[in-house]
Amino acid sequence: MKGPARELEELTEAGLLRSLRPLESGAGPKVIREGRELWNFASNDYLGLAAHPALGEAFIEGVRRYGAGAAASRLVCGTLPPHRELEEALAAAKGSEAALSFPSGFATAAGSLPALAGKDDFLILDKLCHASLIDGARLSGATIRVFPHNDLAKLEKLLESIRNKDAKARVIVVTESVFSMDGDLCPLREIVEAKDRHGALLFLDEAHAFGVLGPYGMGLAEALGLQDLVDFQMGTLSKAAGLSGGYLATTNAWRDLLVNRARSFIYTTAPPPALAHAALASLRIIRSEEGAELRLKLRENIEVISPGHPSAIVPVICGSSEAAMGAARELEEAGFMVPAIRYPTVPRGRARLRVSLSAAHQGDVVRDLAGLLEEGVNHG
């Protein structure tokens, strides 16, 4: 029997071994790792809210009012006032009847999809969907179909084929508004039109669009005025919101079904009430004038790195794992923390640097990074 040591050797030989490299500071645009100060272009803190004083104060207030932990699952006695208040605020912000919060974005996807689809149903996924969506689809037992990234013609053919065989099956199209490794957008309007033509549902992961896109930062669906046409709006509180957690916004009936079937919701202790209390404060900031100003600053920083790019995630394609790791080391030596992303997170031969921009980044620092990238590698 092959032991873990041999498997680790194989990962090392393939240039795919990963290890934890703890920081010696808190989250922020500048961090300390192994005694060195580095400009942080690795996190998903797109608006710089992780260190916002209002969130820290709300967290402390939440602990004082509700304690440090929920002490039980939501269905036992773990549903506390901040959980309900956050879900009501999320539903209102997303233009839906209801919302349900989860401990993480991964738990949201992995619990929701098996609750919404079963062995007699179909899930159609974009090829570049996040691992949590893929795992959730597999757990569902539904028939899974995959279409090439953003390929509307193939999506249409899959929908037609399924409907020709089964006019009554539940069919759910699963995609992301902003894809986490390429930073590009899905053709949301056309996908909505396609799923409506064929009587399907749409599960949209807005994880990397929440806080960033739309007049009030509610994502691509808000930006395009399509919130009421998206059946399931998923998102996280772990990125632009500066905290942790996930949610799904939908109708009252679908929410009630999730409460009864989503195992990652039912069989886990509720998130700390103080976290929900702080998330409510974060949501208020995102939707405020201050949030709009932060999005404007973020947009300015994106334009410096990659003019016209639609999101805060800018990939710099290097090709091989070795090239990406080497580029990341060079940037670290220059004072910038930019992660190298390798297989299996991205396809073989498409290893890259993943530059994550934040409103908290200073303009001169962003320009310095842009200059280094221009000198060393070309954007993919």
Provide the annotated active-site residues: 44, 130, 176, 180, 205, 208, 239
Residue 344, preceding peptide bond in cis (omega within 30° of 0): yes
Report the alpha-carbon distance of residue 73 to residue 81 in Å, rounded.
14
Single-letter residue type at 184: D
Token pair 């794992």 in the structure block, residue: 321
- Angle between the 273-286 and 289-305 helix axes, to the nearest 10 degrees? 80
- 349 burial (CB, 10 Å; 0-12 / 13-18 / 19+) is exposed
- Cα-only R_g, the chain: 21
Residue 254, C-beta contacts closer than 8 angstroms, at least 6 positions apart: 98, 116, 231, 232
SS3 150: coil
Name the E strands within 28-181.
30-33, 36-40, 98-102, 122-126, 143-147, 171-176
- How many C-beta neighbours within 10 Å does residue 121 have? 18
Closest CA to 321 of 342, 337, 347, 339: 342
Which tokens is 238 given? 């772990």
